[in-house]
Amino acid sequence: MGKIVAWDENGQPLRMLGTHTDINERKQMEQALHLTQFCVDQASVGIVRTGSNARILSVNHQVCQTLGYTAAELCQMYIYEIDPNFSMERWQEHRQELARSGSTIIETVHRRKDGSTFPVEVTSSYIEFQGEGFSFSFVRDISERKQAEGAFAHLSHRLELILNSAGEGIYGSNEAGIITFVNPAMAQMLGWEAAELIGQSAHEVCHHSYPDGRPYPQDACPIYLSSWRGQISQGDNEFSGVKMAQGFR
């Protein structure tokens, strides 16, 4: 910036006073800011910055694409307008918890501009800047995960129905030999309730001893061989312990 302080007899500038400012640092800061915003916009997850009153302050391109709004439209809205599970009261509770813990992960539902909804996982962090608190959130669409979980639950239920209706005694155990499933036929054979068997050692329940009372070595137990060594074991004359009895063959 400069100022003319003297002219010659012809009215031409003779002397000037001025200042010179190096703006290289400012330009570098602006470039860094543009790069940060570019990275946020290119992220594959939705990113939302929200104020203390639940007002949406900024979003990235992924949020706009997922919800069907423009950034300008979303920045005129509040969180509870895109999340039907969040009333203003629940937002206040969530914000207090976020400010206390520093971060939260929740599963909720978001509503698109066309009214359709989809499940999301929201990972939020609490940030304070110049005395004001903000919620900075990463939003992931978990529709595929929920569909897979639903399909697995349905398949597990059907399998359980089949196993429960079988006339043969069937049970399942984990790698440690702990019973995780038992059907009614197996429980009846052993004289236990099915719920009593869950969590017990299959070896201790079924093969704790021989008919003559000698301990049944775990290394000789077909349950152990199948669970730990991956060996297929079968037999027609296995001894199994029965609750309040001696056993059966």
Q: What is the CATH number of the domain that holds 70?
A: 3.30.450.20
Do 92 and 202 lie in a common domain?
A: no
Output the pLDDT for position 170.
Answer: 82
Q: What is the model's pLDDT at position 246? A: 43
What are the contacts of 234-242 at 24+ separation with CB within 8 A? Answer: 238/206, 238/207, 239/207, 239/210, 239/211, 240/189, 240/190, 240/206, 240/207, 241/190, 241/205, 241/206, 241/207, 241/208, 241/209, 242/189, 242/190, 242/191
Angle 111-115-118 (CA atoms, 0-180°, nearest 5)?
40
Residue 135 sits in the same domain as residue 155: no
* Eight-state DSSP code of residue 237: S
Among 33-42, 109-118, 149-158, 185-194, the range scoring the smallest mean pLDDT is 33-42
Across 167-191, average pLDDT: 82
Say if residue 151 is in the same domain as residue 101.
no
Pull the structure tokens for residue 154: 């349905």
* Residue 103: band (very low, low, confident or very high) from pLDDT cuts 50, 70, 90: very high
Which pLDDT does position 244 carry in this prediction? 47
245: pLDDT strictly greater than 50: no
The reply to whether 135 and 151 lie within a common domain is no
What percent of the chain has pLDDT above 70? Answer: 69
Domain check: are 133 and 186 in the same one?
no
- Looking at the domain assignment, is residue 238 inside a domain? no
Q: CB–CB of 193/187 below 8 Å?
A: yes
For residues 16 and 116, membership in a common domain is answered with yes
Asked if 137 and 190 sit in the same domain, the reply is no
Same domain, 161 and 114: no
Please indicate, yes or no, whether residues 94 and 164 belong to a single structural domain of this protein: no
Please state, as a whole number, how many other Cβ atoms lie within 10 Å of the Cβ of residue 216: 17
Question: Is 164 in the same domain as 107?
Answer: no
Q: Are strands 117-129 and 132-141 parallel, antiparallel or unpaired?
A: antiparallel
- Residues 6 or more apart whose CB falls under 8 angstroms from that of 144 comprise none
| Domain closes at, from 95, 118, 143 | 143
Does 241 reside within a domain? no
User: pTM for the full model?
Assistant: 0.58
How many structural domains comprise the chain? 2
Q: Which domain holds residue 72?
A: 2-143
Q: In percent, how much of the chain has pLDDT > 90?
A: 32
Using alpha carbons, select from 76, 68, 71 the residue that is nearest to residue 116. Answer: 68
- Let me know whether 46 and 78 are in one domain: yes
